[in-house]
Amino acid sequence: MTWWRIFAAILAFALVGAIAWAILTSGELHGNIWQQGSVLLTLPWGVVAMLDLYVGFALMAMIMMLAERSFLVGLLWAAPMLALGNVWAAIWLIVRLPSLSRRLTAPDWPTR
């Protein structure tokens, strides 16, 4: 279990590093995130990539909401997905992986 949490943390740090790199290198030479995003959305594969990204965010938010025992707690975990993306998903996994693992490996899991 610990290895899965470490792996999620490594992925989260890698993503945060990539975000920091993009912020630090996209000055006047390449334009800011809004300028680059508007260019990206003119490309067919850019549209597909953004759609894929946000569908993934929505699916992960749905898993978060279903996995939490309270609707409000699930909503509070899921809402930041739209702004923080997969960094937030990794944080949720790091926090919730032990309880998720116990629930998913229980002998009566489908009926629980």
- The answer to whether position 93 is within a domain reads yes
66 vs 62: CA distance, rounded Å: 6
Number of domains forming the structure of the chain: 1
- The answer to whether position 110 is within a domain reads no
Please answer whether residues 64 and 74 qualify as being in contact, where contact means their C-beta atoms are separated by less than 8 angstroms.
yes
- The answer to whether position 37 is within a domain reads yes
Q: What is the pLDDT of residue 95?
A: 94
68 vs 95: CA distance, rounded Å: 12
Please answer whether residues 8 and 93 qualify as being in contact, where contact means their C-beta atoms are separated by less than 8 angstroms.
yes
Residues of the chain falling short of pLDDT 70? 1, 27-29, 109-112
Q: What is the pLDDT of residue 107?
A: 77
Please answer whether residues 81 and 89 qualify as being in contact, where contact means their C-beta atoms are separated by less than 8 angstroms.
yes
- The answer to whether position 112 is within a domain reads no
- The answer to whether position 111 is within a domain reads no
- The answer to whether position 86 is within a domain reads yes
- Indicate yes or no: pTM above 0.85: no
Please answer whether residues 79 and 70 qualify as being in contact, where contact means their C-beta atoms are separated by less than 8 angstroms.
no
